[in-house]
Amino acid sequence: MTTADGSVLGTTQIVDNGPSSTYWDLVILGDGYQAGQMTQYAADAKKICDAIFETPPFTQRQWVMNVHRVDVSSTDSGADDPTACGGSGATARTYFDASFCNNGSRRLLVANATTALAVANAQVPQWNMVLMIVNSTIYGGSGGAVAICSMAPDAEEIALHEMGHTAFALADEYDNYLGCGVDTDRDNHPPTEPSQVNVTTSSNRATIKWRDLIEPSTPVPTMTNPDCTQCDRRPSSVPDGTVGAFEGADYYHCRAFRPEYRCKMFDLGRPFCVVCRRRILDVLPARVPDVVGRHVQAAAGLVVWAGLKPFIGGPYSGGPGWCFNQRPKPGTIVATGSRVDLAIRNGLPPG
Ligand SMILES: [Zn+2]
């Protein structure tokens, strides 16, 4: 139940694209993994990390991100699962004390964020986001000071959704709190405009937050809920990916709107909507300092081939980019294994 129930074993940087002072550093912590389960923990952390890197828009900014895995052991495996929410009643003595069933919702999985941040501060002081993975196959997660996900079958999707809250201040776009047909106090959103960029109380085309992304031919509001006592589960009236104003968002059936019919902040397994993708790209560094001093093994071939325009791919950089300067100059033949200093810029090459 406390830090007496385990130990911090150490930290491994599993993705290293550049210095933490300027790059975006994700720290992964684990709870409910016993000392003998660290191999499983490492595999779980890698699975989550790989999924993040494969999901737009992170695919576009992989090379500005670093990932650190902090190994923390717990006395017991798993997490608390109180009977109050229909759980098994299991309790687990774990370092961060993760527990399902918060605010009456079994899926709301929380842990001791103060301890989590203290561990992150000690292990990776320049972290930008902390994600805790909890060794349980029960569905759950939360996004507060620390993003938390269980290792349920949809773990990667939960992690991405909770990161949306924790690192990018995105709101839940879904239209209920405890569940459709369960909530009795979620008919109409209060009039206060939410601060998050992906939900709004406005359906006015001229002033809606994401107005620049709405095509003139798309009706606004795009869909309205005909019965505010219920979740609206009719199919979309417009093609997938259409940006408009869809009623039902921010835990309410009516008087709150979301930008697309479905988004990862609504439903797992969906892409982030274009408004959420834009927000994520706004927060992640767009540029990193020019990378100089990469040691390239196959130097001879590379220097001939690189020039100004070609992409540097594979092991030479953390993602797409182009080489704008190098020593020796393009076309110079140098021996394989020589050191070649490359300056690499992100984004598309000129021309
Ligand atoms: Zn969205």
Per-residue pLDDT tens over the stretch 242-255: 999 999 999 999 99
Rounded to the nearest angstrom, the distance between the alpha carbon of 58 and the centre of ligand 1 is 14
Q: What is the pLDDT of residue 285?
A: 80
Non-local (6+) Cβ contacts of 220 within 8 A are 203, 204, 205, 208, 214, 244, 245
Question: Residue 271 C-alpha to ligand 1 middle, in angstroms?
Answer: 8
Question: What distance in angstroms lies between residue 61's CA and the mean position of ligand 1's atoms?
Answer: 18
Distance from residue 168's CA to the centre of ligand 1 (Å): 11
Residue 113: what pLDDT?
97
pLDDT of res. 156:
97
Q: Which helix (H) or strand (E) holds 43?
A: helix 38-53
Cα of 326 vs centre of ligand 1, distance in Å, is: 41
CA distances from 338 to 155, 293, 307, 317 (A): 43, 12, 18, 17
Calculate how far, in angstroms, residue 281's C-alpha sits from the geometric centre of ligand 1: 13
**Ligand 1 centre distance from Cα of residue 133 (Å):** 23
Residues 38-42 have a mean pLDDT of: 98
Residue 304 has pLDDT above 60, yes or no: no
Distance CA 250, CA 241 (A): 19
**Residue 124 in contact with residue 70, Cβ under 8 Å?**
yes
| Nearest alpha carbon to residue 267 among 143, 144, 172, 155 | 172
CA of 237 to the centre of ligand 1 (A): 18
Task: Give 315's DSSP letter.
Answer: G
**Residue 315 above 90 pLDDT?**
no
Residue with tokens 């569905």: 139
Other residues' Cβ atoms within 10 Å of the Cβ of residue 54: 11
Look at residue 346 in the predicted model and tell me its pLDDT.
Answer: 56
**Angle at the Cα of 180 from the Cα atoms of 175 and 185, rounded to 5 degrees:** 75
Domain 3-166 has CATH 3.90.25.10: no
pTM of the entire structure? 0.83
Instruction: Give all strands (DSSP E) within 105-197, no chain letters.
Output: 129-134, 141-143, 147-150
CA of 260 to the centre of ligand 1 (A): 7
Determine what percent of the chain is predicted with pLDDT higher than 70: 81
- Statement: residue 297 has pLDDT above 60: no
How much distance in Å is there from the Cα of 344 to the middle of ligand 1? 32
Ligand 1 centroid from CA 263, angstroms: 5
Q: Which residue has the higher pLDDT, 328 or 295?
A: 328
CA of 26 to the centre of ligand 1 (A): 21
Question: What rounded mean pLDDT belongs to the chain?
Answer: 87
pLDDT in tens, 265-292: 999 999 999 999 999 999 988 765 554 4
| Separation between Cα atoms, residue 145 and residue 113, nearest integer Å | 7
Planar angle of CA 211, 217, 218, nearest 5 degrees: 60
> What separation in Å is there between the alpha carbon of 198 and the centre of ligand 1?
6
The highest-confidence range among 209-213, 290-294, 297-301, 307-311, by mean pLDDT, is 209-213
What per-residue confidence (pLDDT) applies to 20? 84
When pLDDT is averaged across residues 33-45 and rounded to a whole number, the result is 98
pLDDT at 317 over 50: no
CA 57 – ligand 1 centroid, Å: 12
pLDDT digits (tens, 9 = 90+) for 51-95: 999 999 998 887 788 999 999 999 999 999 999 999 999 999 999
Q: What is the pLDDT of residues 114-136, one digit of tens each?
A: 999 999 999 999 999 999 999 99
Of 37 and 310, the one with more pLDDT? 37
Answer yes or no: is pLDDT of 210 > 80: yes
d(CA 164, ligand 1 centre) in Å: 9
Please report, for the chain, the start and end positions of each structural domain, with discontinuous segments joined by +: 3-166, 171-268, 299-346
pLDDT for 340 equals 62
Is the pLDDT score of 215 beyond 60? Answer: yes
Residue list, CB under 5 A from ion ligand 1? 198, 263, 265, 273, 276
Q: What distance in angstroms lies between residue 161's CA and the mean position of ligand 1's atoms? A: 10
Residue-wise DSSP of 211-261: GGGS-TTS-SSSB--S-TTS---PPPSS-TT--S-EEEETTEEEEEEESSS
